[in-house]
């Protein structure tokens, strides 16, 4: 498995409109990895890297920017897996475009959409038959198959609504995808103990200094370190397990290079828009 992190920001882009904070000004003036759009990830299986994506995790309002920058389309997409129903992760109007395209609509593969009850509520107004799609309810801790993937959802401590983190397995590799997670409640910790992760992609909404907060809806860097240490103690990861981040806002107060310096001390690589990430062979 190989992951393409298209959008690495939290609910607000960096730079964000109206903001003149230091982080937004660096992103505005210098560009590069300091510029962040809202969360979207594509997953490629071996041999698929040079093709259009067949698997996507979340569908953000900013995804069209990446079509333009990277030159791909979503006309081969077969499986769309949602973490939750917040507006920065799901844009139903983009799905509606499937029925109005000017190219051959019959060439579009059937689209399977997976998510919690709250995601189902968000897309309820769509005519799934007209967009050639079907809905699959995903429930916390109940494994399901999405194409060639085996997925076990965990329950994020985020709310309101149901937020799913995903343990994705394929080809002998197991990867934890956990954004909008907060610090898990015990039921998710207990289920995670059944797995050994080859790689982790997690949120770090406030990537900067600060005390850990296990009750917050998002993780800051200190909370992430606590979570990483607990997973290590449980035997789910080792000190060498690749760990990268997304869902990063400007509120941490650090530029990308400063995030790299902080994260490197704890074996964490900050993600960025356009980053490729894969478990080791």
The domain that holds 159 is classified in CATH as 3.60.15.10
Q: What mean pLDDT do residues 168-187 have? A: 97
Residue 47 pLDDT: 78
Does residue 46 surpass a pLDDT of 90? Answer: no
The two most distant CA atoms of the chain are separated, in Å, by 54
What CA–CA distance (Å, rounded) separates 230 from 108? 44
Q: What is the DSSP string of 124-190?
A: TTS-TTTTTEEEEE--TT--EEETTEEEEEEE-S--SS--EEEEEEETTEEEEEESS--SPPHHHHH
What CA–CA distance (Å, rounded) separates 187 from 217? 16
Does residue 186 surpass a pLDDT of 80? Answer: yes
Model confidence band, residue 168 (pLDDT cutoffs 50, 70, 90): very high
CA angle 21, 261, 221 (to 5 degrees): 70
Residue 1 pLDDT: 94
User: pLDDT for 60-110, tens place per residue?
Assistant: 999 899 888 888 889 999 999 999 999 999 999 999 999 999 999 999 999
Model confidence band, residue 151 (pLDDT cutoffs 50, 70, 90): very high
What CA–CA distance (Å, rounded) separates 268 from 35? 19
User: pLDDT for 3-34, tens place per residue?
Assistant: 999 999 999 999 999 999 999 999 999 999 99
HSE (CB half, 13 Å, CA atoms) of 14? Answer: 34
Does residue 159 surpass a pLDDT of 90? Answer: no
Q: Which residues on neighbouring strands pair with residue 269, listed in sequence order? A: 244
Does residue 198 surpass a pLDDT of 90? Answer: yes
Strand order in the sheet with 111-115: 133-137, 111-115, 79-81, 55-57, 40-44, 2-7, 275-277
CA 65 vs CA 172, 192, 252: distances in Å? 33, 35, 24
Can you read off the two tokens belonging to residue 151?
């997925």
Does residue 50 surpass a pLDDT of 80? Answer: no
- H/E segment holding residue 5: strand 2-7
Q: Work out the percent of the chain whose per-residue pLDDT is above 70.
A: 100
* Domain count for the chain: 1
Does residue 51 surpass a pLDDT of 90? Answer: no
Number of Cβ within 10 Å of residue 185's Cβ equals: 13
Q: Work out the percent of the chain whose per-residue pLDDT is above 90.
A: 92
- H/E segment holding residue 4: strand 2-7
pTM score > 0.85 for this model? Answer: yes
Residue 268 pLDDT: 98
Does residue 48 surpass a pLDDT of 90? Answer: no
**The domain containing residue 209 runs over which residues?**
2-277
List the end-to-end C-alpha distance of the chain, in Å, as a whole number.
10
């Amino acid at each position: 498995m190989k992951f393409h992190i298209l959008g690495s920001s939290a609910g607000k882009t960096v730079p964000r409109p109206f903001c003149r904070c230091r982080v937004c000004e660096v992103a505005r003036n210098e560009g590069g990895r300091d510029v962040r759009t809202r969360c979207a990830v594509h997953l490629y299986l071996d041999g698929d890297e040079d093709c259009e994506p067949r698997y996507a995790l979340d569908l953000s309002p900013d995804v069209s920017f990446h079509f333009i920058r990277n030159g791909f389309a979503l006309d081969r997409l077969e499986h769309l897996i949602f973490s939750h129903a917040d507006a920065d992760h799901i844009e139903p109007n983009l799905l509606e475009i499937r029925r109005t395209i000017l190219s051959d609509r019959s060439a579009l593969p059937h689209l399977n959409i997976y998510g919690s009850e709250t995601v189902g509520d968000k897309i309820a107004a769509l005519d799934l038959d007209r967009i050639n799609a079907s809905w699959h309810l995903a429930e916390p801790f109940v494994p399901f198959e999405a194409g060639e993937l085996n997925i076990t959802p965990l329950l994020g401590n985020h709310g309101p609504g149901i937020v799913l983190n995903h343990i994705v397995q394929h080809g002998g590799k197991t990867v934890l995808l956990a954004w909008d997670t907060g610090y898990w409640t015990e039921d998710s910790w207990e289920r995670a103990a059944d797995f050994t992760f080859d790689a982790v992609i997690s949120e770090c909404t406030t990537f900067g200094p600060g005390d850990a907060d296990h009750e917050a809806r998002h993780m800051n860097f200190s909370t992430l370190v606590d979570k990483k240490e607990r997973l290590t103690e449980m035997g789910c990861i080792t000190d060498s397990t690749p760990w990268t981040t997304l869902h990063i806002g400007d509120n941490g107060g650090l530029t990308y290079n400063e995030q790299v310096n902080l994260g490197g001390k704890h074996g964490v690589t900050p993600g960025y828009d356009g980053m490729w990430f894969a478990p080791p062979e």
